[in-house]
Amino acid sequence: MKLKLRFLKLMLLLFILPLQMLAAELGEAGKLLATLPGVSDVETLKSTHFPEKYVFFIKQQLDAKDASKGSFEQRVILCHRGFDRPTVLVTEGYNAKYALREDYIEELSKLFDTNIITVEYRYFDKSMPSPCNWDYLTVENSLYDLHHVNQTLHAMYKGKWIATGISKGGQTTMFYRAYFPNDVDISVPYVAPLNKGVEDGRHEKFLQYEVSTKENRQKVLNFQLLLFKRKAALLPMFEKYCSEKQYRFNAPIAEIFDYSV
C-alpha cells in the first residue's frame, strides 16, 4: 500500500513539475494569454526584437455560422512589445511558419513599435482540421477566424490595431476590412491582387503589349524560344536541379520545364 502511495506521489510530481516549469517560462503577456478563452498550448519563443514572443493555438469553428459542424485549432504567433503599444494583425494567406523565426519582425512594427499577431490561414500546416473537410475552406470562414482572434486578443491589447498582409494575405486584409470594418483602425495591404475570375484575362495583354519596352519584351521572347530549342540538352540539368532541391510535381518533368519557361 505504501509502495503504491509513493508511486502515485511520484507520478503526480512528474505531471505537475512540467506545468510549473512552463508557467515559469511565460512572461507577463504569456500568462495573460494562457487565461484567454479558447487559447491553448502557449509556448515561449526566442526573439531578437521583442521582450516576449509566443506561439499558441486558438479554437475556431469550422463553419463560422454553425457551431455544430465542429472546430479546429488555429496556429497564431504573438510578438509582444507592450500592452500600451499598437498591434499589427498579420492576415496570412498561407502558412505562417516564417513567423516562428527568432529574427521575425514586420515593417509596420518597425515603424510604429507595435505588437504583432500573425494568424496562419485555415487548412495550412498546423492549422489543418482533422478530418479534413474542404467544404469549410471559404474566404468568409477565414475572415471570421480573424474576427475571433481580434475579439479574443482585445482583452490584452486595447490600443490601435493595424491589419496587414502580402499578396493573398493582402487580399485577406481587404476582405477582412469589408466584413469587419470596425475590427481595426488601419488596413495596409501589400501587392494585393483583385482577380476578376479564375481566368482574369488582363495578365496576358499586359505581358505581351504593355510591360517594359517593345525591345525588352522581344528579348524575353527570344530567350524563351531558345530554351525550347535547346530543351533536349537543358532538361537533364533541370531535372537534376529539381532533384537536388527535392521538388516534387504531379506532372511529367518535361511539362514542368515548359511551364517554367
- Beta-ladder partners of 66: 63
- How does residue 24 score in pLDDT terms, banded at 50, 70 and 90? very low
pLDDT of residue 110: 97
In this predicted structure, which of 13-17, 96-100, 166-170, 256-260 has the lowest mean pLDDT?
13-17
3-state helix, strand, coil in the chain (%, to 5): 45, 20, 35
pLDDT at 195: 86
The dihedral through the CA atoms of 161, 162, 168, 174 has a sign that is: positive
**Which amino acid is residue 32, in one-letter code?**
L
Mean pLDDT, to the nearest integer, of 44-53? 98
Q: Are 26 and 35 in contact (CB under 8 A)?
A: no
Q: List pLDDT tens digits, range 139-152.
A: 999 999 999 999 99
Helices (H), the chain: 2-25, 28-34, 107-112, 139-153, 168-179, 202-205, 214-229, 231-244, 253-260
d(CA 13, CA 195): 58
Q: What DSSP designation does 130 have?
A: S
The answer to whether the peptide bond before residue 51 is cis (omega within 30 degrees of 0) is: no
Nearest to 194 by CA among 185, 207, 203, 186: 203
